[in-house]
């Protein structure tokens, strides 16, 4: 089983939640499942809130658990049975969201810390039913006067699935039926006569205007949303509520990086990778680990790992049958991967696992570089974005030492921080990124900084490899400074060997012997977490640059690294010289 992506804090909150779940199972408030008992984990989880004043309140969670016990399942083999939440549902949704509180002086009471949830899971794991139950709780039991709760989706039919299930649950619950009365449960509206709260379906087709006063929003199947209108209406409608909650419950998309889904998923990945921090957002992704050693999409172990409801909410025989169908029919494979393993079925694949990349966080001392032969890799940005340069030198164990540099126009820094949700101001203060005057990259400052850094390191820079796009003037300047410039086209033939060399080094790294040493540079780490590669069908790979107009991902530092390594894997390059060996996290 995989623990990849288990990036949640191991703080006291995690321990308290897991201990509480054990108690609730014993009390019959929560149902135990093999997936949770056997130690499976989601592929991705963002850190739990752990800032000042945050505490875990079990009683707040128990209130939700007991509310669900009033409801009944409506369909399938569990029909008419009590809605007992499962241990994994509580651990990765209910307990963090409803149990982590902080006192708010402005409001005068403790309120929930988490305001937005991303809950991504394969089909048939009880997603829509859970969504309906949560909507009912926010509408009828969350102690919010005049609550407005919306079951939202990309179209009217999908939005109706969650609303109709919630309405039927309300009809089947004696306590709710009595509280709401005959007029409280209508065909398109639930209305609470005592609190003036409402619940209704909401879709882009029915959205007339932004003017909602949202306490709760349950957004089903984000990947089918063609535009962000409904989501924007929900998110901008929460401003006057003390503890609003927007929950996105979805299955993976087909890999369109320009979609609404992609924007939200990127945000969750940034938080999970600790490139940014926002305690009000919590995200969990249940999916197969396609990068796990020996990964087999049709194996039962893969199905178990990706589906927390295996054998409980989704029958094992059903999933085995879907796996066999996909094995026999290539046409069924992408559908199977997306719906039942929650794998985004795009032609590019994520390149590095952060846990492997982080094995190279050893600091490479300045003294190590002195007298070394190194190559440089230059990735010039468009005039208003990141520019990257990376010094790369071979180490005696066959790996690579990296020293990256980044530049950004000064007038773009605040905008980049706002648009990307990343701490650019902190990175500037830490010296990880250099600002150039104005609102476009000052290439002359870039050239001068490269020359100055090379002198500071004391390296013999044998070559600088560069993407020839928009590089003519910079190349001429560096050539006048005495450097040899080598153009490297960004195609499969030019980059594949270097990509494979870097990939082997990252995959071959251990804690005791990291083969890529980058000093844990935060911006390069973010780039490594963003980078995806594409295969040309003949075994050649190359990085794929994200669409700058729609994606917040950036890979400039990795692109510069790969470009540099093309010169180190060229057959005419000499072998590394003997010298200071870097072992573990210190120089020897």
Q: Which residues contact 495 (CB under 8 A, 6 or more apart)?
A: 488, 541, 542, 543, 562, 563, 566
Q: What pLDDT digit, counting tens, does each position of 89-123 carry?
A: 999 999 999 999 999 999 899 999 999 999 999 99
Residue with structure tokens 């995989």?
2
Confidence band for 179, pLDDT divided at 50, 70 and 90: very high
Computed over every residue of the chain, the mean pLDDT equals 89
Residue 573 has pLDDT above 50, yes or no: no
Residue 353 has pLDDT above 90, yes or no: no
Which of 271-275, 421-425, 584-588 has the least mean pLDDT? 584-588
Q: What pLDDT digit, counting tens, does each position of 380-396 carry?
A: 876 668 899 999 999 99
Confidence band for 516, pLDDT divided at 50, 70 and 90: very high
Residue 35 has pLDDT above 90, yes or no: yes
Residue with structure tokens 């709710």?
176
Q: What pLDDT digit, counting tens, does each position of 495-515 carry?
A: 999 999 999 999 999 999 999
- pLDDT more than 70, % of the chain: 92
What is the rounded average pLDDT of the residues 546-560? 86
pTM given for the model:
0.81
What six digits make up the tokens of 13? 């909150």
Tell me what percent of the chain is helix, strand and coil, each rounded to the nearest 5.
40, 20, 40
Distance in angstroms (rounded) separating the CA atoms of residues 192 and 118: 28
Q: What pLDDT digit, counting tens, does each position of 261-289 carry?
A: 989 999 999 999 999 999 999 999 999 99
Confidence band for 552, pLDDT divided at 50, 70 and 90: confident
Give me the pLDDT at residue 333, please: 85
Q: Are strands 190-191 and 148-153 parallel, antiparallel or unpaired?
A: unpaired
Closest CA to 503 of 338, 349, 310, 336: 349
Distance in angstroms (rounded) separating the CA atoms of residues 158 and 161: 5
Better-predicted residue by pLDDT, 457 or 475: 457
Distance in angstroms (rounded) separating the CA atoms of residues 68 and 62: 10
Give me the pLDDT at residue 208, please: 62
Q: Report DSSP letters for 161-221, one per residue.
A: HHHHHHHHHHHT-HHHHHHH-GGGB-SS-EE-TTT--EEEEEETTT---S----SEEEEE-
Phi, psi of 102 (to 5 degrees): -150, 140
Phi, psi of 304 (to 5 degrees): -65, -45
Closest CA to 308 of 45, 48, 71: 45
Give me the pLDDT at residue 210, please: 58
Give me the pLDDT at residue 224, please: 83
Give me the pLDDT at residue 283, please: 97
Torsional class of 410: left (φ above 0), alpha (ψ -120 to 50), beta (otherwise): alpha
Confidence band for 584, pLDDT divided at 50, 70 and 90: very low
Buried b (16+ CB within 10 A) or exposed e, 243-277: bbbbbbbbbbbebebebbbbbbbbbbbbbbbebbe
Phi, psi of 587 (to 5 degrees): -85, 145
Distance in angstroms (rounded) separating the CA atoms of residues 349 and 533: 6
**Gyration radius of the chain's alpha carbons:** 26
Residue 366 has pLDDT above 70, yes or no: yes
Residue 488 has pLDDT above 90, yes or no: yes
Confidence band for 3, pLDDT divided at 50, 70 and 90: very low
Distance in angstroms (rounded) separating the CA atoms of residues 21 and 32: 9
Secondary structure, 3-state, 62-122: HHHHHHHHCCECCCHHHCCCECCEEHHHHHHHHHHHHHEEEEECCCCEEEECCCEEEEECC
Residue 518 has pLDDT above 80, yes or no: yes
Most confidently predicted of 125-129, 215-219, 467-471: 215-219
Give me the pLDDT at residue 487, please: 94
Q: Report DSSP letters for 5-31, one per residue.
A: TB-S--SHHHHHHHHHHHHHHHHTSEE
Give me the pLDDT at residue 358, please: 95
């Amino acid at each position: 089983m995989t623990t990849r992506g288990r990036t949640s804090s191991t703080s006291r909150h995690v321990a308290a939640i897991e201990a509480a779940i054990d108690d609730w199972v014993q009390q019959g408030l929560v149902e135990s499942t093999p997936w949770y008992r056997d130690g499976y984990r989601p592929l991705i989880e963002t850190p739990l809130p752990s800032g000042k004043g945050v505490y875990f309140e079990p009683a707040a969670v128990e209130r939700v658990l007991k509310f669900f016990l009033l409801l009944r399942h409506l369909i399938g083999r569990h029909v008419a049975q009590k809605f007992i939440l499962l241990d994994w549902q509580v651990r990765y949704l209910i307990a963090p969201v409803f149990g982590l509180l902080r006192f708010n002086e402005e409001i005068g009471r403790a309120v929930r810390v988490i305001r937005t949830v991303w809950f991504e899971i394969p089909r048939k794991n009880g997603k829509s039913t859970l969504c309906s139950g949560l909507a009912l709780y926010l509408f009828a039991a969350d102690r919010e006067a005049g609550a407005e709760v919306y079951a939202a989706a990309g179209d009217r039919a999908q939005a109706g699935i969650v609303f109709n299930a919630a309405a039927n649950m309300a009809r089947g619950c004696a306590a709710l039926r009595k509280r709401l009365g005959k007029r409280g449960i209508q065909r398109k509206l639930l209305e609470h006569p005592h609190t003036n709260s409402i619940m209704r379906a909401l879709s882009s087709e029915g959205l007339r205007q932004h003017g909602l006063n949202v306490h709760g929003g349950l957004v089903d199947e984000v990947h089918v949303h063609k535009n962000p209108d409904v989501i924007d209406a929900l998110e901008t409608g929460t401003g006057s509520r003390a503890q609003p909650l927007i929950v996105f419950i979805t299955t993976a998309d087909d890999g369109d990086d320009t979609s609404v889904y992609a924007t939200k998923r990127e945000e969750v990945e940034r938080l999970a990778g600790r490139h940014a921090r926002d305690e009000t957002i919590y995200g969990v992704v249940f999916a197969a680990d396609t990068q796990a050693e020996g990964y087999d999409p049709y194996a039962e172990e893969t199905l178990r790992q990706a589906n927390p409801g295996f054998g409980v909410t989704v029958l094992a025989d059903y999933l085995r049958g879907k796996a066999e169908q996909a094995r026999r029919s290539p046409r069924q494979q992408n559908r199977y991967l997306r719906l039942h393993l929650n794998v985004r079925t795009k032609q590019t694949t994520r390149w590095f696992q952060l846990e492997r990349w982080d094995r190279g966080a050893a600091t490479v001392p300045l003294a190590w570089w002195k007298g070394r032969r190194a190559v440089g890799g230059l990735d010039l940005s468009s005039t208003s974005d990141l520019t990257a340069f990376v010094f790369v030198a071979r180490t005696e164990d066959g790996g690579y030492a990296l020293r990256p540099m980044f530049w950004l126009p000064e007038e773009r820094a605040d905008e980049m921080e706002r648009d990307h949700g990343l701490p650019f101001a902190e990175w500037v203060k830490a010296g990880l990124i250099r600002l150039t005057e104005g609102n476009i990259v000052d290439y002359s400052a870039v050239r001068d900084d490269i020359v100055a850094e090379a002198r500071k390191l004391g390296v013999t820079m044998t070559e600088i490899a560069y993407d020839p796009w928009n590089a003519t003037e910079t190349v001429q300047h560096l050539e006048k400074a005495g450097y040899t410039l080598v153009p490297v086209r960004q195609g499969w033939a030019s980059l594949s060997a270097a990509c494979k060399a870097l990939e082997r080094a990252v995959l071959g790294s251990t804690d005791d012997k990291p083969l890529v040493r980058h000093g844990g540079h935060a911006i390069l780490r973010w780039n490594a977490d963003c980078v995806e590669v594409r295969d040309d069908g003949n075994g050649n790979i190359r990085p794929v640059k994200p669409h700058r107009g729609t994606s917040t991902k950036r890979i400039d530092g990795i692109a510069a690294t790969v470009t540099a390594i093309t010169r180190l894997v060229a057959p005419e390059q000499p072998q590394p010289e003997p010298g200071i060996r870097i072992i573990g996290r210190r120089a020897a």
